[in-house]
Structure 1
């Protein structure tokens, strides 16, 4: 991600795992099927993986347990520290974001992220995907999980429901960050040179989208 929203994680990083475990009513649906979401990313990933926004390391750990080689990127000092406490001590975790990041000196066949891509606005998403296409080997792919809306009407309906339930933090989140439409993501992937684009809805908010690049 970019660093625009780093202040959101200040003081919140230590609570993140309780959110993904469904202990907060406002975000329960956002993280419904969380383990299945991460498992699907892992199963769709290749062997040499760069992960953006590792957060507290939940996806990273699953990738490592599956025998993947992982190059982790995380801009939040708090998140990075929590992840390093959870992960094997030889895990590679670098300071960086989805636009400015160090790259490994070996080929990458998959770039993954979970709950991160929405931190880039639509123009930044397209620019970033073009950059990722250049980082990947031919036949490499991106596998991202994030909140995406099928239409403006769907987003408006979800916002109204959240307001009616008094989910003020969720409403603020949905209004503040750059959650895209499915069509926007598809067009950005296609413009960046990706093919075999697919979307798989995992809950009312989150879709997994995957695409392949051929140089």
Structure 2
């Protein structure tokens, strides 16, 4: 992951929580059932968990409340500041999906609304590294926007444009959103059993187990 999205994350930090709460009309469908999505991710892991892209710390709080020990990796300094306002005495390391401190004895890896910031090539590189970190039976649970096909992605972009959701349409065009067949191949090639569950019109749960 390059630095192309860091300015966006820093700029978004002040309004992110309002957005996920449905206050931004353009992104309301993207974050529909946001709390349920976080719960679906957090309930599937236990023990020591590596979290990528915690943002303002919403999933982190769920993980800590469930008894997990969390090591969080976030690229945005502004997001880290917001997360620390919610979670005292908790260390969030600056880094990203590909650049982070060495970790040991991790039972699970989680992320929400962030994996699309990697190109497909970078996704594969990251998944191979995670396969080396996790033990056999370890869990990788992501929730992110994905599409069943390229045609479906095109349709959703056109739908956003017709609704005059220009920011959403631009994001769907310029960020690295991919399709379920591509994701399935990447996970399987990197040594994971994977299944998908749709959580809203945009977001899919990716529940992967290390072989």
Q: Do both proteins adopt the same fold according to a TM-score greater than 0.5, normalized to the shorter chain?
A: yes
1:163 aligned onto 2:161: yes
Matches within 5 A, 1:96-107: 96-104=95-103, 106-107=104-105
Q: Following the alignment from structure 1 to structure 2, what is the Cα–Cα distance between the partners of residues 57 and 47? A: 18
Structure 1, gaps ≥5 residues long: none
- CA distance in structure 2 between the partners assigned to 1:75 and 1:10 by the alignment: 9
Query: Pairwise mapping of residues 48-67 of structure 1 onto structure 2 (< 5 A)?
Result: 48-67=48-67
Structure 1 residue runs of 4+, over 4 Å off? none
- Please state whether the residue corresponding to 2:107 is helix, strand or coil: strand
Structure 2 equivalent of residue 114 of structure 1: 112
Structure 2: gaps (5+ residues): none
The offset of 1:2, in angstroms, is 4.4
Q: How does 1:1-215 map to 2 (within 5 A)?
A: 2-87=2-87, 89-104=88-103, 106-195=104-193, 197-214=194-211
User: Is the CA contact (8 Å cut-off) linking 1:74 and 1:97 kept in structure 2?
Assistant: yes
Residues 72 and 93, structure 1, Cα contact 8 Å, conserved in 2: yes
8 Å CA contact 2:10–2:79 kept in 1: the answer is no
The answer as to whether partners of 1:2 and 1:99 remain within 8 angstroms in 2 is no
In the superposition, the TM-score normalised over structure 2's length comes to 0.97
2: CA distance between counterparts of 1:2 and 1:36? 30
1:103 to partner: Cα distance: 2.7
Matches of 2:195 and 2:59, distance apart in 1: 20
Cα deviations by residue, 1:115-143 (Å, 9 ceiling, x for unpaired): 00000000110111000010112210110
Contact 1:110 1:136 in 2 (8 A): yes
- Cα distance in 2, alignment partners of residues 61 and 203 from structure 1: 22
Alpha-carbon shift at residue 10 of structure 1 (Å): 2.8
Please, what TM-score do these two structures have when normalized by structure 1?
A: 0.95
CA contact (8 A) 2:46 2:67 kept: no
1:67-122 CA-partner distances (Å, limit 9, x unpaired): 110000001000000001101x2222101100101133x40010000000000000
Q: What RMSD, in angstroms, separates the aligned Cα atoms of the two structures?
A: 1.0
